Structure 1
Amino acid sequence: MTFGGTVLPEWKQRDTRPGAHPLRQSGHGQRFGGPCVKGLWRRAVVVGLALTVAACGRGGVDAKRIAAADGAEWLTYGRTYDEQRFSPLAQVNKDTVGKLGVAWWAEFDTDRGQEATPLVADGVLYTTTAWSKVYAFDARTGKQLWKYDPKVPGEAGFNACCDVVNRGVALWKGRLYVGTIDGRLIALDARTGAVAWDVQTTDRTKPYTITGAPRVVKGKVLIGNGGAEYGVRGYVSAYDADSGKLAWRFYTTPNPKGAPDGAASDRVFRDKASATWSDGVWKESGGGGTVWDAITYDPKLDLVFIGVGNGAPWNHKLRSGGKGDNLFLSSIVALRPETGEYVWHYQTTPGESWDYTATQHIMLADLNIGGVERRVVMQAPKNGFFYVLDARTGALISADKYVPVDWAERIDLSTGRPVEAPSARYRDGGISQQASSPLGGHNWQPMAFSPREGLVYVPAMRNRGFYADALGFKFIPGAWNTGLTRAQAGPNTPSPKPATPPLATGELIAWDPVARKARWTLALPAAWTSGVLATEGGLVFHAAGNAFTAYDANDGKALWSYDAGANVIAPATTYAIDGEQYVALMVGVGGAPMGGDQPRRPGRLLVFKLGGTVKPPPYPAAVAMPPLDLAAATPSKGDADRGAALFGQFCGACHRIGGLLPVLPRSPAILDGEGFKAIVLDGALKANGMAPFRRYFDEAGAEDIRAFLLWQAKQPAPAPKPGGASHG
């Protein structure tokens, strides 16, 4: 077959059977629809369709265009408002996926984590990298069109619990919107990258961050924030897409002063939510409840659903005297998009005490349950239960364990509340070991739903959590305030130990939300895996470690795999240009999370197509770090036991073995006392994200930490945990 004078390979040729389409072939007989293609021959070749869509899109992305999206473009974070991450494209399918190869690739100027979902509109691919940088590429050729660097101060990385990542942008009427790690929301010209407006969405004196992708609904840009562990009060904000003016704000925890905020949340806190809090540390910390990821809009019901995070501190006894449900922590909350007015909520974990956030991916679907069509909200939050809610009312339809759970026996469907296990809570110096750790049964990595199969694909984890009550806890603004005793021991201060070794394994679960059980489950070689993409071609794309794999959506059989050369945690997207389907993937989790023994690996964007032959150069081979020459160390007069306590509170989240950043007991920086103080107290490396700590402790404290690190460097290295990297 020829097209435009070119002979098309067999896999590009059009199937001329009735109902077939070159990029969309399925047993469903789905059709293109919507205003952009109304009146067109619905089985037109995809080139003509793509040109028509591009022409219709010259005015920019809006609600009608998102609603009419046919698969050629990926216009919003979850592709459609439903956030199902399902593409109707089918040129890449079970029969052809073996021919998938790299069409083009790009490398970035950072080796930190890459979590973005690339968007594609009008032939341009938009993505973000660590440090909130934005790139625009020609989606067919990979030519870089422009780059925008918001110039985030390096020390802002200190406030990021889980790396300086960014999960992507939003598109609306010729503009692109991105949140930054230092709490700004920026509007850019989608064609040039020029700044249209730049607003600060957070209090710069508090440790807020933004890592999530904005959403645009009815001309308003919705954005949340993170930072609960460090002591902030969560909220979601709506800004006018044209001017950047704040339209409304909804807080997720009460005002610690007991006063109204003049916000959309005032009424619901006055009427019901404030009464669920008692006296406690939350009045100093703000209570947490940050909205750092999930924001989903339902145009059918005209509701926005937000996912709310953990408490500050985690420890319910300290946060609120062990009393009350603490609304709206760990909740899904439905709001009116134009005003922020509260409509309903469902709390997944009342009295949250384990970092069991409900910020995980929220998706919408129409399901036939018991013979009745239901519009539903679905979520697999950290606490290990898969929830199906009525989208209109928030009523619980089902809640079932998708991974092993022991904090609760079950969810009572009549009350919607968990039936907690007697051993779940840690109080009065006690401990609790749970089957789901603070990483959760499922974290931020997006799920996907295939209407073709009726399955939700969940990138899940089994990772045990150990919780020990912190006696004598004192809230310190900007420090790691969980209210737990950190498992960090000095030479004379043994810490509490788990009864059994922690487990860390990953799974890809094909969950049937109607049958309320898994159809199939794959055990994976890594715990911290990627988000998921499902397609009409009968495929599920997912990565574990370096391996980016296409599975049969029906039974989980691996059909194709590609070694990305570095760990992948981001979800793939797919689009079509000039009659060809592409699959795009951000690559990179950074070198340090592998325990410090990996070379620095810059982030990459890989774009695949059938017949792609490009070979990106391999990354440097892994090498073992040489042991420190401890004989060359300046002796320390510090107290290693005091240093262990300081390290646990201020350093361990990032710099412990298996943490996000360099493992300090293996770092040459600890060998010299003056050099160590220059870094830790004076900010010699603040441009890299290592903020000065002089506001928290003095030179004696810094030397105590160095003494502890020198002692720890002499201890036998722990065996690596199964499952690969444990942070993202």
Structure 2
Amino acid sequence: MRYYVLATTHRALRPALATALLSLPLLAGCGDRQSTAATAAPAAQTVAAVDGARIRGADSEPGQWLSHGRGYDEQRYSPLAQIRQDNVGDLGLDWYFDFPTKRGMEATPIAVDGVLYVTSAWSMVYAFDAVSGELLWHYDPQVPKAWMVNLCCDAVNRGVAVWQGKVYVGTLDGRLVALDATDGSVAWEVQTTPRDKPYSITGAPRVVKGMVMIGNGGSELGVRGYISAYDAQNGDMAWRFYTVPGDPQAPHENPILKQAAATWSGDKYWEYGGGGTVWDSMAYDPELDLLYFGVGNGAPWNREIRSPGGGDNLFVSSIVAVRPDSGEYVWHYQTTPGESWDYTATQHMILADLEIDGETRKVIMQAPKNGFFYVLDRANGELISAQKYTTVTWASHVDLDTGRPVEADNARYEDKPALIYPNTQGGHNWHPMSYSPDTGLVYIPAHQGIMVYAQDKDFEFTPGAWNTGLDLMPAVMPEDPELRAQAMSQFTGFITAWDPVKQAEAWRVPHSTLWNGGMLSTAGNLLFQGNADGEFVAYRADTGDRLWSSPAYTGIVAAPITYSVDDKQYVAVVAGWGGAQVAFGEIADRAKGSPEAGGDNYSRLLVYSLDGRAQLPAPAPSERKLPAPPPLNADVATLARGHELYINNCHFCHGDRAISGTSIPDLRMMSPETHELFNAIVLGGLRHEKGMAGFAQRLDDDDAEAIHAYVIKRAHDLHSEQEQNQ
């Protein structure tokens, strides 16, 4: 490990410093993972001195944001009220930092004793002075860029955990790293996933009772889900809980998996991995001593393929409660039995005590992808209520006696395609919701979306590929402009202020598109959210009235926090458009972070206060000139084949119809040089250092030529559109 000391930064120099950081790994020995100290940090014993007592007593330290959801209950509610509904109009930018990336940004900052800890793309970690914005240190785990091929949804990371002087981060290539909070040096690291499987980590760790909890992602690519606990001091693994059964010829790793295995059928599911990855949400109840985690979709998505005899397929799409000391199973609730639509239950979970029917109930609440808002008894998993919070057609309702959804007749698509709400993005994705005990409302960054689900009749499992079990072609946007506009109108986003006792919407704020930021509620009767249009906005928490906004000049998907230092309250949010929405191309392209929409994507940390006077530089208008595309010589059959190959191999990163809504290259805009090198890039991995791995194991020269022909057609389409608009 090598260290580089940098001069103390000033606000005007921060963007330059950020750019300089990009080159630091090049100065080190080959393969070194870099931590760079920028200024002298406080004494070690005073840095990140977080433990369970502090997190349990979070309300007694309202100026801190000690854990991912502020406290173990994950409510994302702050008692701070210096910034209120009657003075939020005075809020201004106090300081900002531009990260050396243009990838998506999904992190929740952690604020401890005057220091902000934030992650950026590629699992990098930054520590800032929370008042001045000075960079204290920076850590680069040097994730191989070629690992991008093993990722679902951009090179994102949702944040760190801090505990007793250490900062913990999960890396995209499956490592859990403990950093010294003083200078960012590596205390220990452990590989939490097999290196020969396409696992990834994008979620934030949690620390409970001295153990770091971490899950992983990769269901669609052929992995088996689990959550692990590691000793926070030395990285020794304490326990692991597999969420789906493995090889039926091998002993079950956990007695509860025998029960789970009875809900699966066929002899292929374990070869496909099964899915059920624990890639995001967790919560902890210290009184009940229960750790809760959400479980992802089955893999392949289509149950008919992974479990052809049917079955609920436990524990996919479930909330599971275990003992944090041992991982011992206590209870589960499955939101989507026999999941077939990518309806994960990894979405944010909130713990609260609610008065329901005259009785105080200890509840856990979740709005998973499937479109129903669930209120459960968190002691035993009993279903209390469930209602639709967005447009839902796959099920009519949830039966309160059985706890099961009542599926619509056309929900399963084994025999014929089915038009279903919500689509694979769900009614609510990973973006954190918040709860206010003042209003009694849960604030959900919700979506509406529609999709044609159809079975892949010719499915063959391909390790490392997207094994959905779906025929994706019926789901693509129509070419006809009018039909495409009608389809796109069905994709919307909104805030719903949800009353969990009445199970009804109290108010709604519509957005121009979907994929907007997570939520923060405060005692100042305020609700903060960034949006896809590049704004950071404050609303009245009780009514939804818009009170204040500030331009970020880039789409915001992450959730804000608030903290205070020396009796001064700040609000912080990480901005930068990206994530899973990249696959939706033209829909994602509506966002402010998209160059096509008139702006570039900026990855930045924004910090506001009542006397903030800083100004973001207004971006110059983006005028992307379309290079002259090569001649379009392919016949109709080749273009059709290229389109299908593109959808099945490329659109997950480069977007539907070859339109990229992020900084990932828009393939319609390829230069003549890139066209010349197309096969070398696609098959040979010529640009693996930028995250574009080679696909030679899946595609041959004819396949690459067909994909190239389709991309050339899309470039010609864009050229024609530009000529018509002149």
Please give the range of the TM-score, normalised by the shorter of the 2 chains. Answer: 0.7 to 0.9
1:608 maps to which residue?
A: 608
Question: 1-side partners of 2:620 and 2:694: how far apart?
Answer: 32
- Offset, 1:711: 3.2
Count of residues in Structure 1 that have an aligned counterpart in Structure 2: 657
- Offset, 1:643: 2.5
1:10 maps to which residue?
A: none
User: Match of 2:86, SS?
Assistant: coil
Question: Can you list the C-alpha shifts for 1:58-77, whole angstroms capped at 9, x where unaligned?
Answer: 68100001112221110000
Judged with a 3 Å threshold, the aligned counterparts in structure 2 of structure 1 residues 590 and 367 are, in CA distance, closer, same or farther, namely closer
Q: 1:668 aligns with which of 642, 667, 670?
A: 670
**Range moving further from structure 2, 613-622 or 349-358:** 613-622
- Offset, 1:465: 1.9
User: Is structure 2 residue 310 aligned with structure 1 residue 308?
Assistant: no
Equivalent runs, 1:628-647 vs 2, <5 Å? 628-631=627-630, 639-647=638-646
Q: 1:206 aligns with which of 179, 194, 197?
A: 197
Judged with a 3 Å threshold, the aligned counterparts in structure 2 of structure 1 residues 596 and 484 are, in CA distance, closer, same or farther, namely farther
- Offset, 1:673: 5.7
Question: 1-side partners of 2:709 and 2:672: how far apart?
Answer: 9
- Is the 1:310–1:329 contact (alpha carbons within 8 Å) kept by the matching residues of 2? yes
2:187 maps to which residue?
A: 196
- Offset, 1:312: 0.7
1:19 maps to which residue?
A: none
- Is the 2:496–2:505 contact (alpha carbons within 8 Å) kept by the matching residues of 1? yes
- Is the 1:102–1:609 contact (alpha carbons within 8 Å) kept by the matching residues of 2? yes
1:65 maps to which residue?
A: 54
- Offset, 1:319: 1.2
Q: 2:471 aligns with which of 463, 480, 485?
A: 485
2:260 maps to which residue?
A: 273
2:14 maps to which residue?
A: none
User: Match of 2:262, SS?
Assistant: helix
1:653 maps to which residue?
A: 652
Q: 1:222 aligns with which of 213, 235, 259?
A: 213
2:552 maps to which residue?
A: 564
2:23 maps to which residue?
A: none
User: Is structure 2 residue 587 aligned with structure 1 residue 587?
Assistant: no
- Is the 2:105–2:120 contact (alpha carbons within 8 Å) kept by the matching residues of 1? yes
TM-score norm. by structure 1 comes to 0.86
**Range moving further from structure 2, 641-650 or 571-580:** 641-650
Question: 2-side partners of 1:451 and 1:200: how far apart?
Answer: 40
Judged with a 3 Å threshold, the aligned counterparts in structure 2 of structure 1 residues 181 and 719 are, in CA distance, closer, same or farther, namely farther
1:37 maps to which residue?
A: none
Question: 2-side partners of 1:77 and 1:337: how far apart?
Answer: 17
**Range moving further from structure 2, 296-305 or 710-719:** 710-719
Q: Which amino acid aligns with 1:66?
A: I
- Offset, 1:619: 2.5
User: Match of 2:473, SS?
Assistant: coil
Question: 2-side partners of 1:389 and 1:559: how far apart?
Answer: 34
5+ residue gaps, structure 2: 1-42, 583-587
TM-score norm. by structure 2 comes to 0.86
Question: 2-side partners of 1:123 and 1:718: how far apart?
Answer: 54
Question: 2-side partners of 1:560 and 1:98: how far apart?
Answer: 5
RMSD over aligned CA atoms reads 2.6
2:25 maps to which residue?
A: none
Judged with a 3 Å threshold, the aligned counterparts in structure 2 of structure 1 residues 689 and 665 are, in CA distance, closer, same or farther, namely closer
Q: Which amino acid aligns with 1:610?
A: L
- Is the 1:489–1:644 contact (alpha carbons within 8 Å) kept by the matching residues of 2? no
Q: 1:476 aligns with which of 440, 454, 462?
A: 462
**Range moving further from structure 2, 230-239 or 643-652:** 643-652
Question: 1-side partners of 2:155 and 2:672: how far apart?
Answer: 24
Equivalent runs, 1:115-514 vs 2, <5 Å? 115-260=106-251, 263=253, 266-270=254-258, 272-279=259-266, 281-428=268-415, 430-487=416-473, 501-502=487-488, 503-514=490-501
Question: Can you list the C-alpha shifts for 1:456-511, whole angstroms capped at 9, x where unaligned?
Answer: 00000111122111111111011111111112799xx99xx999724111110111
Judged with a 3 Å threshold, the aligned counterparts in structure 2 of structure 1 residues 280 and 460 are, in CA distance, closer, same or farther, namely farther
- Is the 1:163–1:660 contact (alpha carbons within 8 Å) kept by the matching residues of 2? no
- Offset, 1:646: 2.2
Judged with a 3 Å threshold, the aligned counterparts in structure 2 of structure 1 residues 679 and 489 are, in CA distance, closer, same or farther, namely farther
- Is the 1:634–1:673 contact (alpha carbons within 8 Å) kept by the matching residues of 2? no
Judged with a 3 Å threshold, the aligned counterparts in structure 2 of structure 1 residues 568 and 717 are, in CA distance, closer, same or farther, namely farther
- Is the 1:636–1:707 contact (alpha carbons within 8 Å) kept by the matching residues of 2? no
Question: 1-side partners of 2:324 and 2:407: how far apart?
Answer: 34
Q: 2:539 aligns with which of 551, 555, 563?
A: 551
Question: 1-side partners of 2:430 and 2:48: how far apart?
Answer: 32
Question: 2-side partners of 1:382 and 1:59: how far apart?
Answer: 34
**Range moving further from structure 2, 656-665 or 313-322:** 656-665
User: Is structure 2 residue 635 aligned with structure 1 residue 620?
Assistant: no
Question: 1-side partners of 2:151 and 2:106: how far apart?
Answer: 14
Judged with a 3 Å threshold, the aligned counterparts in structure 2 of structure 1 residues 555 and 489 are, in CA distance, closer, same or farther, namely closer
User: Match of 1:350, SS?
Assistant: coil
2:37 maps to which residue?
A: none
- Offset, 1:228: 0.8
2:77 maps to which residue?
A: 86
- Offset, 1:57: 6.0
- Is the 1:670–1:710 contact (alpha carbons within 8 Å) kept by the matching residues of 2? no
- Offset, 1:136: 0.2
**Range moving further from structure 2, 217-226 or 711-720:** 711-720
Question: Can you list the C-alpha shifts for 1:491-539, whole angstroms capped at 9, x where unaligned?
Answer: xx99xx9997241111101111011101111111221100000000000
- Is the 2:554–2:600 contact (alpha carbons within 8 Å) kept by the matching residues of 1? no
Judged with a 3 Å threshold, the aligned counterparts in structure 2 of structure 1 residues 663 and 280 are, in CA distance, closer, same or farther, namely farther
5+ residue gaps, structure 1: 1-53, 721-728
Question: 2-side partners of 1:666 and 1:59: how far apart?
Answer: 47
User: Match of 1:368, SS?
Assistant: strand
- Is the 1:179–1:186 contact (alpha carbons within 8 Å) kept by the matching residues of 2? yes
- Is the 1:488–1:644 contact (alpha carbons within 8 Å) kept by the matching residues of 2? no
Q: Which amino acid aligns with 2:88?
A: V
Identity %: 51
Q: Which amino acid aligns with 1:356?
A: Y
Judged with a 3 Å threshold, the aligned counterparts in structure 2 of structure 1 residues 236 and 672 are, in CA distance, closer, same or farther, namely closer
